[in-house]
Structures are given as structure tokens and as C-alpha cells.
Amino acid sequence: MMKRPHRKSEARVTATEGRVADGEGPVRQCAVTREKLPQDAMVRFALSPDNVVTPDISGKLPGRGVWVHSDRETLETAVKKGAFARGFKQQVIVPEGLSGTVETLLLQRLTGLLGMGKKAGDIVLGFDQVRDALQKKRPGLLLEAADGAEDGRSKVYFLAKALYSNVKMAGALSSEELGVAFGRERVIHGLVRKGPIAKATELAYQRLAGFRARPELDWFPDQDR
């Protein structure tokens, strides 16, 4: 099990305020912190016909929605302090393990996008193939398995940094989780080509990262938080 992420609430507010100012997509209010944040930084919850609080990862379920920042600590505070009953203005049933369910759904969302990217030809897999792709064009997002070897990921990252600035990496998925995304047993190194799929994948990764550690921040301290 991966350790829970360190909380950087001040940094989070600064980053999200900047995105709101840039007008990146719809803005919603978090039911816990009352911050107005970009919709893609949050998780929507809807009520089932039986009044069960239900994660709506795609934001398409009918009825009133309650929005919570995509962050385990914030979601657990919402459960503890009755934010869903207040938001829905009625008594609700909050299922056990809601945070774990949300993490699983966000992981499925991310791996689904990666699978779509592979079918579209926007994904490169394998150490040599990734290094070759880096020589040709700036990547949209580097993928490194959380349980991969330090030597391999360092070679990939520092090659990318030597060629380009502001290289982004996603390192919170295990080799088995990356393998699921691409129909393989395990994947250690990958690259998402720059474009719409890379942007969607990065946003999906940021939402998931609120529920698990981001090891790339320890591997390479110059990665953006």
C-alpha cells in the first residue's frame, strides 16, 4: 500500500487560485473548504434513489450535486462533519470506505484514458522506445511505475530534462496498474505524446494524486507540486 500524500494546503490554494484566474473550465465550490476551484480539481457526488452518496467521477449523473476537492483528507472531513447532508439538504447514507471507492474510480478513469491513448497511437511504452521518442519531440507526460528501478527512471528523466524544460512526470501508479491500462502484465516506462490525450491524462492524474502519494516529488524535487 502506498503511503498517503503529505498535505500542502497553502500550496494547493495558491495553485488553484491561479487556475481559476486563468479561466480553465467551470468553477465549483467545495462543500468542505468553501473554496471556489476548477471543476477538474474536484469530485462530484450525487444521490442514488435510495439516498446513498454516490461518486460521480464523470459529473454526469442527474440531480443535485455536491462538490468536494479531490483530496482524501478533504473528503474524509466531509464525511465526518456531515457536509453531504448539508449539501443535499436532507438525510443521506454515506457508504463505508467512500474515500477508497473514489480512489478506485479515479484510477479507473486514468487507466481508461491511458488505454484510449494507446489505441490512438499517443502512447509510447518501453525504456528504449521512450528514450527514442524523447529525442524526436517534447513529451506531454512521462509515465514511471512507482515500483520501477531508480536507475532507469533517472536516465529517462534526465534525458528529457536535457532536451526540454518543465518535463512532467506521473509516478503514482504501480507497474501492475500501468499494465492494466495497456493490456500487459507490467509496464515500467511510458510516455504520453503531447496533445489532448496528454492534457486529459494529466488532469485525471492530478485528481487521483489527492488520494495517494506522488513519489516523483521525492525522486525529482524540481517536479511541480
Summarised one tens digit per residue, pLDDT across range 158-173 is 999 999 988 999 999 9
Q: How many other C-beta atoms lie within 10 A of the C-beta of residue 160?
A: 21
User: Pairing state of beta strands 53-56 and 66-69?
Assistant: unpaired
Query: What's the mean pLDDT when you consider all of the chain?
Result: 90
9-96 is a CATH 3.30.1230.10 domain: yes
Res 24 pLDDT > 90: no
Q: What is the grid cell recorded at 21?
A: 484566474
User: How buried is 104 (Cβ within 10 angstroms: 0-12 exposed, 13-18 middle, 19+ buried)?
Assistant: middle
Distance between CA 119 and CA 122 in Å, rounded? Answer: 8
Q: Could you say which of 3.30.1330.30, 3.40.50.1980, 1.20.210.10, 1.50.40.10 is the CATH number of the domain covering 101-219?
A: 3.30.1330.30
Tell me if residue 11 falls in helix, strand or coil. Answer: helix
Res 12 pLDDT > 60: no
User: How buried is 103 (Cβ within 10 angstroms: 0-12 exposed, 13-18 middle, 19+ buried)?
Assistant: buried
Stretch 172-185: mean pLDDT: 97
Confidence of residue 225 (pLDDT cuts 50, 70, 90): low
Res 196 pLDDT > 50: yes
Whole-model pTM: value is 0.87
Amino acid at 146: A
The string of pLDDT tens digits covering residues 82-141 is 999 999 999 999 999 999 999 999 999 999 999 999 999 999 999 999 999 999 999 999
Vertex 84: Cα angle to 98 and 56 (nearest 5): 55
Q: Provide the pLDDT for residue 8.
A: 38
Q: Would you list the domain boundaries of the chain?
A: 9-96, 101-219
